[in-house]
Amino acid sequence: MDFKRKLSAAQGKNNSLLCVGLDPDVAKLPTQVAGTPQPLFSFNKAIIDATASLVCAYKPNSAFYEARGAAGIEELKQTCAYIQEHYPDIPIILDFKRGDIGNTNNHYAAFAFDYLGVDAVTVQPYQGRAAVQSFLDHKDKGIIVLCRTSNEGAGEFQDLDTDGRKLYLQVADKVAKNWNANGNCLLVVGATAPAEMAAIRQIVGDDMIFLVPGIGAQGGDIEATLKAGGPNLIINSARAIIYAGNPRQAATEARDQINKYRSQP
Catalytic residues: 97
State whether residue 39 is helix, strand or coil: helix
Helix 194-204 vs helix 167-174: crossing angle, to nearest 10: 30
Least Å from the CB of residue 263 to its own copies: 30
Alpha-carbon gap, residue 157 to 124, rounded angstroms: 13
Q: Does 216 bind its own copies (CB under 8 A)?
A: no
Residue type, 152: E
Residue of 22, 14, 17 lying closest to 241 (CA atoms): 22
When the beta carbons of 128 and 231 are compared against its own copies, the nearer one is: 128
When the beta carbons of 59 and 255 are compared against its own copies, the nearer one is: 59
Q: Does 196 bind its own copies (CB under 8 A)?
A: no
Encoded one letter per residue, x for contact with its own copies by CB under 8 A and - for no contact, window 29-68 reads --------------------------------x-xx-xxx
Encoded one letter per residue, x for contact with its own copies by CB under 8 A and - for no contact, window 113-152 reads -xxx-------xxxxxxxx--------------x--xxxx
Distance from CA of residue 49 to its chain's centroid?
Answer: 19
Contacts of its own copies in 95-114 (CB under 8 A): 95, 97-102, 104-105, 107-108, 110-111, 114
In what order do the strands lie in the sheet containing 210-212?
A: 57-60, 18-22, 233-237, 210-212, 185-189, 142-148, 120-123, 93-98
Kind plus residue range of the DSSP H or E element containing 59: strand 57-60
Contacts of its own copies in 224-263 (CB under 8 A): none
Q: Does 160 bind its own copies (CB under 8 A)?
A: yes
Residue 186: which region, alpha, beta or left (left: phi > 0; alpha: psi -120 to 50)?
A: beta
When the beta carbons of 16 and 134 are compared against its own copies, the nearer one is: 134
Residue type, 5: R
Least Å from the CB of residue 142 to its own copies: 18
Query: Using CB under 8 A as the criterion, which residues of the chain lie in contact with its own copies when the complex forms?
Result: 23, 25, 61, 63-64, 66-71, 73-74, 77, 95, 97-102, 104-105, 107-108, 110-111, 114-116, 124-131, 146, 149-158, 160-163, 167, 170-171, 174, 213, 218
